[in-house]
Amino acid sequence: MPKCKNSQTLPSHFGLVSRRDFLKFCGVAAAAMGLPLSMGAKIAEAVAALKRPPVIWLSGQECTGCTETLLRSTHPTVESLILDLISLDYHEALSTPSGHLAEEAKKKAIAANKGKFILVVEGAIPMKDNGIYCQIGGRTMLDILKETAPLAMGIVAIGSCASWGGIPSSGPNPTGAVGAAEALGGKFKVINIPGCPPNPYNFLSTVLYILTFKKLPDLDNQGRPRFAYRRLIHEGCERRPHFDAGRFALEYDDEGHRRGWCLYKLGCKGPETYNNCPAILFGNVGARSWPVGTGCPCFGCSEKGVGFTAPIAAQASLVHFSTTGTPFKGEERVGGGRLCLTPPQTFPPIHPPEGHGPSAATVGVLSGLTGVALGAGAITATKLGKKETESDDKAGKE
Amino acid sequence: MVEESQPLGGKIVTKPFLVLAALAAVGVVLMLYRYLYGLGAVTNLSDGYPWGIWITYDVLVGTALGCGGYAMALLVYIFNRWEYHPLVRSAVLTSVFGYTLAGVAIFLDIGRYWNGYHLFLPWYVNFNSVLVEVALCIAAYVGILWLELAPTVLEGHQDNPKAQRARQRLERWLPVIVALGILLPTMHQSSLGTLMIIAGYKLSPLWQTPLLPLLFLISAITMGFAITVFESILSSLAFKRPFETPMIAKVGGVMVWLIGVYLVIRLADLLLRGAPVFSSGFLSSMFILENLLYVVPLVLLASPAYRANLRSLFVASSSLLLAGSLYRFNAFLVGYSAGPGWTYFPALPEILITLSIVALELMGYLYFVKRYPVLPKAEHV
């Protein structure tokens, strides 16, 4: 439990949230980001000290799954914590007012918090025919986003749809759906939290990071926070030893599947998908509470070009070393650290042979050779002796 | 001092050459077998003994025998003894073959030879490895040796103006090449000793000492002088040339001093550490044999009168070569124990491959001295 001097009591706006639950939450969030536990205290202080940071939550082509994951799958009290922790000034599904009242509230909130609010985008943005396929209050999502983005302190795209288009953008993509970053024309730095749905802790941790350190977390080349999307699912997968040992489930409910073997041959996309699912799991219900853990191959929901694109049963393409061993361009970890994902063809024996003594033939050949060498040496030495006496004789005659 | 060298001339393909070629051919077939069926098919190597006769003989003894060029360069260029210069070319030639084939032998020995080029890609290199230093040094030194030999080869093409221009250009760089040719062996010959320091208690206390690098370096230099003397006598005998007695006798004198220094350090170290010299059974006998072989040249060459005697020079240099080789075998194989249950003795194909490498070395030597001006011009006595 992080120690937090300045948070002996919580501000009144935290409502029914107990201090214990609040600190626990901050500690978990710090752990999810790979920060030391002492950072949990810092986060708690930052959050408690703030006037609740305003959040404007825009929804485009989405299923509200990202909102659902945020509400349900965490600590028992986290929904109230979230609603009290941030000041969710506008959210189509969660706002109490609706219709004109809601739009009015949004306008007021933006005007009052210009440059201070966090803009969260959920869902893809249709671009075709000037974006007419998604309208809110008579205006297209595209217009709303373009108008709101410049006024925000930071933009977070939650879910695969907002990150890179997600399911609405899968072929034939009738509405021309794209992610928030692309819809804004690459003019704004957008933090992408892809996933369908993304792990709520990845989102919360990102928001808390921004609030605590007043800067963006380390992002990779696709705008994803490194603390969450640095590693392939395959790297942290609990079934990875089965992959390395060549033990694969070949059909659902076959012996290998029942025994929990690797799902690669059933089409698991773990080897091409970057996410921390195997590390932080879902729903706080303990071990194996993530797709691969329950026996369902990963379908790559958080990876552009994999989720909603590659056929579910298609085998993932494995990452190999390039022929010269040079790291790939845009590589996250340089220095030959990239995992070679090809399973080995053979495995070392359990009882390795402990070597051999000399064979009769070897001893024979060796002693023969030694004999020849010694003989040749002796003959040479004798010859040399003779030469010397000869030359001595010559010298004497001269 | 103007000195001239000349090619020996004569037929390249002679009877001894054919015998050597046959030996080499056997080895080449076995090498192919090794690449097709793996190390287990031709060697007795195991997880406990990943280094066998190939590393011990071809690399350790081979490069130490190849130290002729290094030792002579040290004497001539560093100690400014130009009177020994006529011996340098043939010494460099033996070094070229000793080192090049040691490099080749490494590629036989490493299991995953297809990753061998990783050594030259910095992002793959583990700079904390002792072996990396040795490998990089040896690789660099092989190149340097060929550059040292290049003027000789170019000189052989007298009527080719391009070759002569290249030679002149090369000779301008010779000081740098020679300097590197002295630095690199100093580094890796001592590091070869360091390799066994990290083996810790697996190596018998008769050989395990923090002074291993120094002892390896000194013994490599003495072996370099010994091989120069040995080779000079044998080539004079084989090609019926006059002996270079006064000069090699002086080299013998240098050798005596070095052996003295070596033995003092070696014995003092054993005494200070209280090593079980006589109570280690078989290892003790090997240790005593090794050091007796060191004492032989010390006794034989002690007085200047003996040094002028060709026979004692020959016996002394052979004994010293055996001593240095045995020291390396003892420190790397005989005195090394991988733990209970593990044994190693080279398999027949392993030995045959090593023999074929030696045969290749000798064939190369014969070809070069006959074709190129390596040996000093014979002056009639």
For chain A, the helix, strand and coil percentages under 3-state DSSP, each to the nearest 5: 45, 10, 45
With beta carbons less than 8 A apart as the criterion, state whether B356 and B224 touch: no
- Is B4 a member of any domain? no
Q: Chain A: nearest CA to B20, how far in angstroms? A: 14
Entry field: residues in chain A: 398
Q: Do A384 and B311 touch (CB under 8 A)?
A: yes
Number of helical H runs and strand E runs in chain A = 15, 9
Query: What residues in A contact B345, CB-CB < 8 Å?
Result: 356-358, 362
Token representation of residue B150: 């290049």
Residues 6+ apart with CB under 8 A from A234: A240, A243, A270, A271, A273, A339, A341
Query: Taking CA atoms, what residue in A is nearest to B343?
Result: A355
Helices (H), A77-191: 78-85, 99-112, 141-148, 159-164, 180-183
Mean of pLDDT over chain B: 88
Query: Taking CA atoms, what residue in A is nearest to B235?
Result: A380
Query: What residues in A contact B309, CB-CB < 8 Å?
Result: 388
The DSSP call for residue A378 is H
B201 exposure class (CB count in 10 Å sphere: 0-12, 13-18, 19+): exposed
- Is B274 a member of any domain? yes
Q: Does the predicted model carry a pTM greater than 0.90?
A: no
The pLDDT value recorded for residue A339 is 44
- Is B121 a member of any domain? yes
Q: Cα dist. B334→B203, B267, B340 in Å?
A: 9, 19, 15
Q: Give me the tens of pLDDT residue by residue for chain A, a chain 398 residues long.
A: 444 455 566 666 666 667 777 777 777 777 766 676 677 777 777 666 656 778 889 999 999 998 888 776 555 345 555 566 677 788 888 777 788 888 888 888 888 888 888 899 999 999 999 999 999 888 999 999 999 999 998 899 999 999 999 999 998 999 999 999 999 988 888 999 999 999 888 888 888 788 778 788 888 888 999 888 888 898 889 998 888 778 899 999 999 999 999 999 999 999 888 999 998 888 778 888 999 999 999 999 999 888 898 888 888 877 654 444 443 444 443 333 344 454 555 556 666 677 778 888 889 999 999 999 999 889 888 888 777 666 655 544 44
- Among A355, A365, A380, select the one facing B49 at the smallest CB separation: A355
- Is B3 a member of any domain? no
B256 exposure class (CB count in 10 Å sphere: 0-12, 13-18, 19+): buried
pLDDT, tens digit, for every residue of B3-27? 677 787 788 888 889 999 999 999 9
- Is B218 a member of any domain? yes
Element (H, E) at B242: none
With beta carbons less than 8 A apart as the criterion, state whether B343 and A354 touch: yes
Q: Chain B: nearest CA to A359, how far in angstroms? A: 7
Q: Chain B: nearest CA to A270, how far in angstroms? A: 26
Q: Chain B: nearest CA to A34, how far in angstroms? A: 27
Distance CA A176, CA A129 (A): 9
Q: Do A353 and B46 touch (CB under 8 A)?
A: yes
Is some CB atom of chain B closer than 8 A to the CB atom of A352? yes
The pLDDT value recorded for residue A220 is 87
Query: What residues in B contact A354, CB-CB < 8 Å?
Result: 46, 48, 341-343
- Is B191 a member of any domain? yes
Is some CB atom of chain B closer than 8 A to the CB atom of A378? no
Q: Do B243 and A383 touch (CB under 8 A)?
A: no
Distance CA A148, CA A56 (A): 9
Distance CA B66, CA B86 (A): 17
Is some CB atom of chain B closer than 8 A to the CB atom of A259? no
Is some CB atom of chain B closer than 8 A to the CB atom of A323? no
Distance CA B75, CA B84 (A): 8
The pLDDT value recorded for residue A251 is 92
Domains of chain A as residue ranges with CATH: 5-228 (3.40.50.700), 231-344 (4.10.480.10)
The pLDDT value recorded for residue A389 is 67
Strand A54-59 vs strand A139-140: parallel, antiparallel, or unpaired? unpaired
Distance CA B144, CA B141 (A): 5
Q: Chain A: nearest CA to B58, how far in angstroms? A: 16
Q: How many CB pairs under 8 A join A and B?
A: 75
Query: Taking CA atoms, what residue in A is nearest to B118?
Result: A325
The pLDDT value recorded for residue B1 is 40
Bridge partners (DSSP) listed for residue A140:
A135
The DSSP call for residue A123 is S
Q: Which residues in chain B land under pLDDT 70?
A: 1-3, 378-381
Is some CB atom of chain B closer than 8 A to the CB atom of A99? no
Q: Do A352 and B46 touch (CB under 8 A)?
A: yes
Query: Taking CA atoms, what residue in A is nearest to B315?
Result: A381
Query: Taking CA atoms, what residue in B is nearest to A352?
Result: B47
A190-193, strands of its sheet edge to edge: A87-91, A54-59, A118-122, A154-158, A190-193
The DSSP call for residue A262 is B
Dihedral pair phi/psi, residue A124, rounded to 5°: -80, 165
Q: Chain A: nearest CA to B186, how far in angstroms? A: 30
For residue B237, the domain's CATH number is 1.20.1630.10
The two most distant CA atoms of chain B are separated, in Å, by 66
The boundaries of the domain holding residue B231 are: 15-371
Q: Do B123 and A361 touch (CB under 8 A)?
A: no
Q: Chain B: nearest CA to A348, how far in angstroms? A: 10
- Is B284 a member of any domain? yes
Element (H, E) at B238: helix B212-238
- 3-state secondary structure labels for all residues of B33-100: HHHHHCHHHHCCCCCCCCCCHHHHHHHHHHHHHCCHHHHHHHHHHHCCCHHHHHHHHHHHHHHHHHHH
Q: Do B318 and A365 touch (CB under 8 A)?
A: no
Token representation of residue B58: 């071809």
Query: Taking CA atoms, what residue in B is nearest to A354?
Result: B342
Q: Do A325 and B121 touch (CB under 8 A)?
A: yes
The pLDDT value recorded for residue B292 is 95
Distance CA A196, CA A160 (A): 6
Strand A135-136 vs strand A139-140: parallel, antiparallel, or unpaired? antiparallel
Element (H, E) at A54: strand A54-59
Q: Do B123 and A352 touch (CB under 8 A)?
A: no
- Note the ipTM here: 0.77
B369 exposure class (CB count in 10 Å sphere: 0-12, 13-18, 19+): buried
Q: Chain B: nearest CA to A231, how far in angstroms? A: 21
Closest Cα to residue A127, out of A67, A181, A191, A56? Answer: A181
Query: What residues in A contact B118, CB-CB < 8 Å?
Result: 325
The pLDDT value recorded for residue A324 is 44
Closest Cα to residue A303, out of A277, A274, A331, A264? Answer: A274
For B212, other C-beta atoms within 10 Å of its C-beta total 22
Query: What residues in A contact B48, CB-CB < 8 Å?
Result: 354-355
The pLDDT value recorded for residue A13 is 60
- The residue to which tokens 């030194």 are assigned: B141
Q: Residue-wise over A9-28: b if at least 16 C-beta within 10 A, else e?
A: ebeeebeebeeebbbbbbbb
Distance CA A89, CA A183 (A): 23
Query: What residues in B contact A335, CB-CB < 8 Å?
Result: 123
Instruction: Say how many domains are in chain B.
Output: 1
Listed as own residue / partner, the contacts of A331-340 with beta carbons closer than 8 Å and 24 or more positions apart are: A332/A220, A332/A226, A332/A230, A334/B123, A335/B123, A336/B123, A336/B124, A339/A232, A339/A234, A339/A235
Query: What residues in B contact A336, CB-CB < 8 Å?
Result: 123-124
Element (H, E) at B147: helix B130-156
Give residue B211's identity as a one-letter amino acid code: L
Closest Cα to residue B78, out of B5, B151, B185, B232? Answer: B185
